[in-house]
Amino acid sequence: MKPTPKRSIVFFLIDDFTMMAFATALEPLRAANRMLGYEAYRWRLASARGASVKASNGVECTVDTSLEQERRLMTGSDRPTMVVVCGGVGIENFDNKTVLAWLREEYNRGVAIGGLCTAAHVLARAGLLANRRCAIHWENLPGFQEMFPKVNVFADLFEVDANVYTCAGGTASLDMMLKLIGEDFDDTLVNRICEQFLTDRVRSPTDRQRLPLRARLGVQNSKVLTIIELMEANLTEPLSLVQIADHVGLSRRQIERLFRQEMGRSPARYYLEIRLDRARHLLLQSSLPVVEVAVACGFVSASHFSKCYRELYARSPQQERAERKQLTAA
């Protein structure tokens, strides 16, 4: 008797999807089939119109079905058990209402819904993430939080909440799929796939996305690292240097000296730069008005924000956003 497939998965590709996230989600399924000796996992690729889709790296992928065809397959023997939306660059304004309605309908029929990389934006717009936990790439986290305040978003590698799967993209797709395969089979199969892919383990959902501050900044002083963590956690309402000094048990003069030695600039300047970095992400990844971006990053006025932004990036916030729109439209 022929073994029954464990899952039938539709990978729904959106223009400029991230190839790495897609490949690291698909490849463990292929490896599992090979090692099991039968087709435990089936998949097909779909797009809104059934046309080929170009990834953000320029590689074009042909697909098997269109959205119209997927709707016809919803009630037949070829209906999927899981739909995975593959996101990527410029997805923040995705608002194809037909796609969003299809995702809701699939979910309501008991189909698991997944999102790779920035696809949490699509799932949120479809109403599938309200009051749920989800994961998204750290670079897209600030904009997502502002756009969807009711979603519990985390800079985790992946999250599984009820029948909704999200991951931060990159190699986190591999971890999420290996967890799924482990639930379907066992750790023995997962370990064999890890060996095949030259990876030593499946990372947990809450493993950090980014390098630790110590490695990322090349800073060894624990006091400086603690201060930077405080700054990064308080961007909307910046702490005063007095508050920071009280928290870490140092004087203002000591903090000033440490930052000059370790970071090459004053703590006030460094704090300003990380707030402006967050502002830049919000400008590029959301449609928030400039004044709301300013408030979200701890600036008392839009004019002060614009002045600081121009001094650091040599262009105004409005110019930054306009350049991004031009690049997206090109």
Residue 48 above 90 pLDDT?
A: yes
pLDDT for the residue 273: 93
What end-to-end distance do the CA atoms of the chain give, in Å?
53
Question: Across all residues in the chain, what is the average pLDDT?
Answer: 90
CA angle 159, 163, 167 (to 5 degrees): 25
pLDDT tens digits, residue range 193-202? 999 999 888 8
pLDDT tens digits, residue range 166-208? 999 999 999 999 999 999 998 999 999 999 999 888 888 877 6
Residue 328 above 70 pLDDT?
A: no
Ramachandran angles phi, psi of 23, nearest 5°: -65, -40
Residue 126 above 60 pLDDT?
A: yes
Question: Which one, of 223, 204, 203, lies nearest residue 213 by Cα?
Answer: 223
Quote the CA–CA distance of 108 and 259 in Å, as a whole number.
54
pLDDT for the residue 140: 86
Residue 119, SS3 per DSSP:
coil
Q: Please, which residues bridge with residue 47 across strands?
A: 66
Residue pair 11/22 in contact (Cβ under 8 Å)? The answer is: yes
- Judge if 7-196 and 213-329 fold alike in CATH terms: no
Quote the CA–CA distance of 167 and 150 in Å, as a whole number.
18
Domain ranges (residues) in the chain: 7-196, 213-329
Report the amino acid identity of residue 219. V
Right CATH number for 7-196 from 3.40.50.880, 1.20.1440.60, 3.30.465.10, 3.90.226.10?
A: 3.40.50.880
Query: What CATH class does 213-329 carry?
Result: mainly alpha
